[in-house]
Amino acid sequence: MSNSEGGLSEDGLSEDAPAKLNLALHVRRRRDDGYHDLETVFAFTDFGDTLMARPGDRLTLDVVGPFAGAVGAGDNLVLRAARALAAAAVDGGAIGGGAALHLDKRIPVAAGLGGGSADAAAALRLLNRLWCLDWPLDRLLPIATDLGADVPACLYNRTMFGTGRGERLQAVIDEATAGLPVLLVNPGVAVPTGPVFEAWDRLDRGPLHPDLWRDGRNDLAMPAVRLQPVIAEVLDALSATGATLARMSGSGATCFAIYSDDAARDRALDEIAGRRRWWAVATAMRAASTE
């Protein structure tokens, strides 16, 4: 069972951690603090990880799933988020506590899908319920911001326009995206974010209007392709399947393609899977969270 609205199953409380897409990502400048000013439209898919929790005397985490080995159960973002929320609860006069956390890791690591950020955000939402804090998401936002630039968007799990490092968020009406059939494809290479940003040519190619994301671009695609040329092969293969849009997400290497209907997406999946040994998942854009 996976329920982002507060479900309780035999395995305990559970929370979805949907994969994040950057429908467009414009890099405007490198700042004096070393970060980059971005403009991006975040969206989320029905595909993702699942985090579960039961009460415990201390914070523990076990990880299963196809990408468990790449994450491990050490000092990762899930435990960092849990510790940060526990500390904030104490500071706010509430009581946090322990939890036995269980992560089903299906999102590839270092793939441009915000897997770690999604897991951290899911931990904040999940433990907020498990510990009966009942804080609104806006109260969790400062904790999310401290954990990473993508965590705030993942906290809200809805289409958002992000500026700054991506942490300044504005809700976008997601009627144009909710339910859109999407194919995710990763060629099996990890692309660390730092080297991709370092390879950016520092040319400002103009602003992004959140409602015109289809006319936008991903300014990190060219530097990512220089580091991993196979990304260009993925984009070419997706474009050849009749997608209405094919683009890289985040700093790569995962690319996504949007289709007019589920049947077109599923045919594309069969075609890609039949020719390549690439990781591929058929999914859809997620509607706005009900929280």
Provide the pairing of β-strand 36-56 with 12-30. antiparallel
Closest CA to 286 of 179, 169, 210: 179
Catalytic residue among 20, 49, 174, 219: 20
Q: Is 169 helix (H, G, I), strand (E, B) or coil?
A: strand
Distance between CA atoms of residues 59 and 97, nearest Å: 8
- Give phi and psi for 8, each to the nearest 5: -130, 115
| Burial class of 209 by CB neighbour count within 10 A (0 to 12, 13 to 18, 19+) | middle
Q: Identify whether 150 is a catalytic site residue.
A: yes
Cis peptide before 171 (omega within 30 of 0): no
Distance between CA atoms of residues 283 and 290, nearest Å: 19
Q: How far is CA 73 from CA 100, 128, 131, in A?
A: 12, 21, 21
Q: Are 181 and 259 in contact (CB under 8 A)?
A: yes
Distance between CA atoms of residues 171 and 179, nearest Å: 17
Helices (H) and strands (E) in the chain, counts: 9, 11
Cα of first residue to Cα of last residue in the chain, in angstroms, is 18
- Give phi and psi for 87, each to the nearest 5: -65, -40
Q: How far is CA 53 from CA 57, 83, 96, in A?
A: 12, 14, 13
Q: How far is CA 113 from CA 2, 53, 99, 166, 261, in A?
A: 19, 23, 26, 14, 22
Catalytic residue among 16, 49, 150, 174: 150
The catalytic residues are 20, 150
